[in-house]
Each structure stands twice: as structure tokens, then as C-alpha cells.
Structure 1
Amino acid sequence: MSTTPTSPQGVPYEELPHFVNADGLHIYTKCWQPPDNSTPSALCLILHGVGEHCERYDTVAAPLTGSGIMVFAHDHVGHGQSEGIRVDIKDFNIYVRDTIQHVDRITEHYPNLPVFLIGHSMGGTVAILAAMERPDQFTGMVLVAPAVVENPETATTCKVFMARILAYLAPQFEIGKIEPKYISRDPKEVERYATDPLVWHRGMKARWSVQTLEALKQLQENMSEIKVPFLVMQGDKDVLVESVGATLLMERAQSKDKQAQIYPGYYHALQFEPPQDAAIVLRDLTSWIVTRMKQAP
């Protein structure tokens, strides 16, 4: 007897926008259309960070849709309203594969439009790897506090060795969690994150941690293959990702059009900083994409 698949929250997927990935898992999707559902001038995929979900990104999508861009997103497998073991992955490249599948689905309906990626934190890692796999598909990418280099506090030889053992023996073992206070300087945003039922508030899984370290190693070893134009945005008070990642991208990527913007005093989620500061980030992000959208052939 077959049963109707439901989200982790118990909602039938027939009632939710989604696609089914190569592993047969339902991946929740979100779309923000330009005003009046007018024909878009470009497409932009938002890739969220670890433990969070795409519904948090309304404020990022708004100025883009106002500029005639159709914005879409999905909850990574194991996140938010998508299927999969919570915050676990057998292979980090599954995130990349699902991203490319989603892009292919959208571009099938909207062909011949410039396509941009926005990746935050882990989503930045996914965006870079997707752009390396499909260098001719993307017009540009904006990397918001991307995870490029492992955090030295969590990537010591001893800790990595233990994580690998746990990943093999107990892949769901939780070895550390994100403290909400490091997300933003805005108490309201910290509270929103800390009380969001779709956010994963427990520890990161051992297997996820090892797979992410492998992805970062892959990225670092092949950074010179990056050719897609990009803007990397980084807060200098971010303690969740290493800001040196922005420097390495600028030094090693082959992209002829590359730019780094450092925001003094900003924490990790630049787009969710205090309103007056987040507005600067969203202005810079939107301006960069709109300029290249207009320059695209």
C-alpha cells in the first residue's frame, strides 16, 4: 500500500512546491516572481547555509524581483521542508548535483536568460562547486560569507581524526553546534533564528562535518579553475567562517571579473545584520547582479 510522501513537518508534498532529486527525495522549492508576474530579465538561485532554510530569504529576494529578476531557491536535502536525514550527507556533491538539477528545471521554462547564484556560508561552497562544474552556465555569483577554508579551531589534526572515526562508526553523532549569537548583531535576527522551527538547532553531524571538510579540500585544490564572475562579501567580525577565504578566492580564481567587499564590524549573516547595515549589503548585492544582467549578451 503506497502512502503520500510528506515533509518532515507532516505536509503532503502534493501541497508543496518541490522537485524529486536523483535519490528519489522530495526537495522543497521557493520562487519569488517579479511584480505582476512580468517576464523576468534574469534568473537567480539562492543557496542557504547549513542548518537553515530558504524561507528566510524574502528580504534578499525582494530587491532582486523589483529589478525584474526571478529568484528561486530550495531547502538542501536534510534541511527545512526537504526530505533526508537532518543535516547529514553521504557526499557533499549531492548538494551540488541538486543545485544543478534545480537550475536545469528552471532554465527549461525560462531559456536564454542570464543565470546568477547567491550562496551564503555552506551555500557559498555549493555555489562555487556548481560554477566550477558548469562554468558556461552562470553569468555570475555572489558569495556571502562563503565557507572556503576550514575553521582552524574545528579542523585540528586530532579533531579531524576523531570526526572521521565517528563518521564511520556513528555518522549521526553531533560534534558541535552554531551559536545563534554569532549569526548577527541584531538581537531580533538572533531571536528569529533561535526560535525558527525549520532551523536545525542541534549539533552538526560527524559525517556531514567530514564531507564538508572534503568539499573544502576539493575547492581549495581546484580554486584556479574558477572562471565565473563573482562578488565575495565578508564581515570582518565573522567567527563562523574564515575571512581569509575571500582573499584566497581573489588571489587564485581565474575569473576576470572578481570583486571582494569587506564589511567592518559585520558578523556572519550579512544579509540579516541590523536593518541599516543589511540594507547596504542588499544594495551592493543587487547592484552587482543588475549591472551584469544588463551587460549579459
Structure 2
Amino acid sequence: MAISLRLQYSCLIQHPPPNPTRRSLIGRSSLLAPLPSRLTWQSARTSGVIVANATATGRDSNGKDSKKKKKIKKGKLEGVSEELNLLASQSLDWAPTRRRVRTAFLEVQKNLDHVLFKMAPKDIQMEETYETNSKGVEIFWKSWLPPVGISRKAALFFCHGYGDTCTFFFDGIAKQIAHAGYAVYAMDYPGFGLSYGLHGYIPSFDGMVDHVIEQYNRIKGRKELKGLRHFLLGQSMGGAVALKVHLKRPADWDGVLLVAPMCKIAEDVTPPGPVLKGLSFLSVLMPEAKLFPQKDLGDLAFRDPSKLKIAEFNVISYSDQMRLRTAVELIKATQDIESKLDKVSSPLLILHGAADKVTDPHVSQYLYDKASTHDKTLKLYDEGYHSILEGEPDGRIAAVIADIISWLDSRSSAN
């Protein structure tokens, strides 16, 4: 018997996206089919949204070949050499390759025609670090500190979206927030960006959250943060990460800022127990298998088409098929978060595009209503799509960043 299921992350939508094209973002989901089936998720070279689609087809043969060197079909990047295109088209399963590709594209990315790169302050103090944690995983993290002579108001810690990295669009965002007087820190999760681990693989969502807690606790001990308040900023799937970090250690944070957070599965599409059990069983047998063929949500996430083209230069993002264990972990994570929304006790800022068709703004309203904190703000941006920090007209992007800074200013240790 065929069972159809719509999974919606960050917020849910009522219908699968119409004819999604281009690279996707993590966002909502469409349909799952009977088991065994080939499940379809949407991934992207941007700030993360997840979509699940499934048709009753056979198993994808890529599952057990993740360690083999293979070519990945990707669209050709305009304006760069054949050599760079060849480099970007190779398998990015392992961190050493991702690091080489990122290094090769650094100069290209600096010259991209996007407001986040063009208007980024030049006097920010930056540091990039690789650090092995207690679990033996080498984590990449980066800091952006205010210019010399500007006092630090507080520290902001970023959690990126599915498939993303903290080294592309967020670099420009972080520079502007740092210029306003904030020490900004971000890390790539294991398996994403420049951190070690199989690309796009989340063996345990809670385990990933624990990596974030450990790394950010280490950073909090640095002398430049002594006496400062600590805030979390999470985008899309990173919103789910930030919520779980807060829920596990509520006393550790002075506020949580969320941009289209992945926080709830719609009541009418909650996965039936047998389906989830079947997926969980398969994810034990072939956890790394890529059973969710990629579809693109870029057009639904970026209101400005020119900015969507620039997102393609985020060459180390994960834009391949979603891995089976990753999909199961995301389903479970949203269920867990949904059951605990009333325990969100930290000062809370939720930002969302009112016309977001990747994640439903009504679910951000639901989070706002359920959160137990009395200090909470929900702001919806007229006509805004999913990627309000990267894919909107220049003026809107500037306004969203200004709203983040204003909220932090009113709650920082300097005020």
C-alpha cells in the first residue's frame, strides 16, 4: 500500500513545490512513497532547506560507493577556467578535497557581484582554525572580530543550514555584524564544509549538536570573550541545531536568533510509525546510501535571480543526493524539537520571509506562540523568500542584518 508523506522542515508547506529548478536549498518536503523506495530530497548550494520526494523505484546504487573517486555532474560555472570547473566537478566526499577546492576558488569568490561581498568591511580581524575535538574529529571554525579600537559588545555563534558552510555567504554577513562591535564565530559541522567527515552525512543529529556544544564551549573560554554575553544564530536546519543546543544547555545562552528555523513537522503529515521504523531500519543497513535524488529549490529560495547564480559558486556546499541516515536523523530531530518548543526559554528573535515557499512562515508563528520566554519577537518580511540574508534585493538584505544587529544591541552587555 502506497503511503505518501510530506516532511516540512524549518516550516512546512501545504503542497510540494511546483517545478523546482536549479540548485536546491533545504526546505520543505514533498512525498515519500512505499518502502522500499527511492526517496527524494532536495539539497542546495545555499543556506539550507530540505525537501523529500519519493517514488516507488529501486535502490540507488551509489550507496556503498561513497569512498570511491567519482565524477559528480554539476552545472558549469560561468566566467571561470576549465581547470577550475573540472576541480569543482569532482567528488567532494572527503575534507581534503573540499579544502583544496575552496582554496582554489578563494579569489573568484572575493570578486563575486553580491552585496555581501562588495559591501563587506575590510578592517575585520579574522582567524581560521582547524581543531581536533574530544571525539577525534577535526573541526573547522572561523572568527570575525571587530576592528581594532571598537569595543566588543557580545559574542554571536552561528549554526549553518543543511549542505552549507560558514565560509561563503555567511562570511559577508559576519563581517557586517563584527563591524557593529560583535565577536562572531562559526563552525562547519562534521561532514560539511571544511570539517572532516563524509560529505553530507549526519549519522546522529544529537551527535552533531554535541559537536557544536563542545566546539562553542571551547571558544567561549578564550580571553577575548571574558565577561561577554553569548548569543546563538541559526539559519534553516541551523535553526534546529541552535534550538537543540539551547534546549540541552539553556543556561549557557543569553539569546537565540533564528532565520526560517527547521522546527516542526506539520500535524497532518507526521510520519506514520511503520514508515519511520522502515526508514530507520534501512538507515542501519546502508546509512551512507544516497537514496534521495536531488531536486532544486533555488528559484523558490532566492527572490533575486542574479543572486541565485552567485550561489552556484559556493562550490563546497553539499548538492548531491541526500544520504539515508541523514534523512532519518532530520525527521527525528524535527519531531523532538516540536515536542519541546514550550521549553524554549531564552530571549528569542525569529525572522522569516512572508512569501517563503520553502519553509512556512506560519510555523515560525507557531514557534513564537509556543516558546515559554516572555522576551520574544517574530518579524515577517513582506514578499521575502526563504533566503532573506542572501537572496533578496540589496536593500532587504541590509535591513535584515540591521534588524539582527539592533536586537543584539538591545540585549548586549554594553547596554
What TM-score does the superposition give when structure 2 sets the normalisation length? 0.64
**Residues 190, 244 of structure 1: CA spacing in aligned structure 2 closer, same or farther, 3 A cutoff?**
same
Matched, 1:52 2:170: no
Structure 2: gaps of 5 or more residues:
1-93, 101-126
Aligned to 1:250: 368
2:96 aligns to what SS in structure 1? coil
Q: How many correspondences in the alignment? A: 289
Equivalent residue in structure 2 for 1:34, among 135, 146, 163: 146
Structure 1: gaps of 5 or more residues:
none
My pick for the range that moved more, 232-241 or 108-117, is 232-241
- Aligned-partner Cα distance in 2 for 1:137–1:76: 20
- C-alpha contact (below 8 Å) 1:193/1:199 kept by paired residues: no
Structure 1 counterpart of 2:161, which letter? G
Aligned to 1:270: 388
Aligned to 1:129: 244
Deviation at 1:155, TM superposition (A): 6.2
Deviations 1:24-46 (A, max 9, x none): 11111111110127552211011
Deviation at 1:282, TM superposition (A): 0.9
Aligned to 1:138: 253
- C-alpha contact (below 8 Å) 1:250/1:260 kept by paired residues: yes
Deviations 1:138-167 (A, max 9, x none): 111110011012378996548756643542
Aligned to 1:9: 98
Aligned to 2:174: 61
Aligned to 1:237: 355
- C-alpha contact (below 8 Å) 1:7/1:82 kept by paired residues: no
- Aligned-partner Cα distance in 1 for 2:268–2:322: 15
Structure 1 counterpart of 2:370, which letter? R
- C-alpha contact (below 8 Å) 1:145/1:268 kept by paired residues: yes
2:192 aligns to what SS in structure 1? coil
- Aligned-partner Cα distance in 1 for 2:96–2:270: 34
Q: Which has the higher contact order (CA 8 A, sep 6+)?
A: 2
Matched, 1:174 2:291: yes
- C-alpha contact (below 8 Å) 1:154/1:160 kept by paired residues: no
Alignment of 1:70-219 (within 5 A): 70-109=183-222, 110-150=225-265, 157=272, 160=276, 163-171=279-287, 172-177=289-294, 178-219=296-337
Deviation at 1:121, TM superposition (A): 0.3
- Higher Rg: 2
Structure 2 counterpart of 1:50, which letter? Y
Equivalent residue in structure 1 for 2:403, among 245, 259, 284: 284
- Aligned-partner Cα distance in 2 for 1:200–1:265: 28
- C-alpha contact (below 8 Å) 2:260/2:352 kept by paired residues: yes
My pick for the range that moved more, 287-296 or 95-104, is 287-296
Deviations 1:184-203 (A, max 9, x none): 11223211222321111112
**Identity across the alignment (%):** 26
